[in-house]
Amino acid sequence: MTSIDVAKTAAALPDAWNSRTLGRVGTASVKVLRMDDSPIREESHGADELLLVLDGRLELRIAGAEVTVQAGEMYRVPAGAPHAVRPGSHGTLVIVEEPGA
């Protein structure tokens, strides 16, 4: 495998909030996406999800609590926890998740 310019890959995506799989670690997918200021509706997953903000910030609502994840920070969303993206999120986000979870 060759190196991947994650920021460049995210910037080249045609639409915000549409992820691209960069690779896999075991059964987990490593994805990147470009965030814009748009909110994203609530969802939950059957497995933990790791959210790593490369640049910008991610504004979340997790089980009713408001959370801000800054550039260089990572947040683990526990399995089954309802979470939504609040307005104001922007930048580059890396997601590590189990497929079908």
Query: Tens of pLDDT along 32-89?
Result: 999 999 999 999 989 999 999 999 999 999 988 999 999 999 999 999 999 999 999 9
Beta carbons within 10 angstroms of residue 21's beta carbon: 11
CA angle, corner 81, sides to 52 and 20, nearest 5? 40
H or E segment and range at residue 84: strand 83-85
pTM, two decimal places: 0.90
| Token output for 30 | 């490593």
Q: Name the region of 11 (left: φ>0; alpha: ψ -120 to 50; beta: rest).
A: alpha
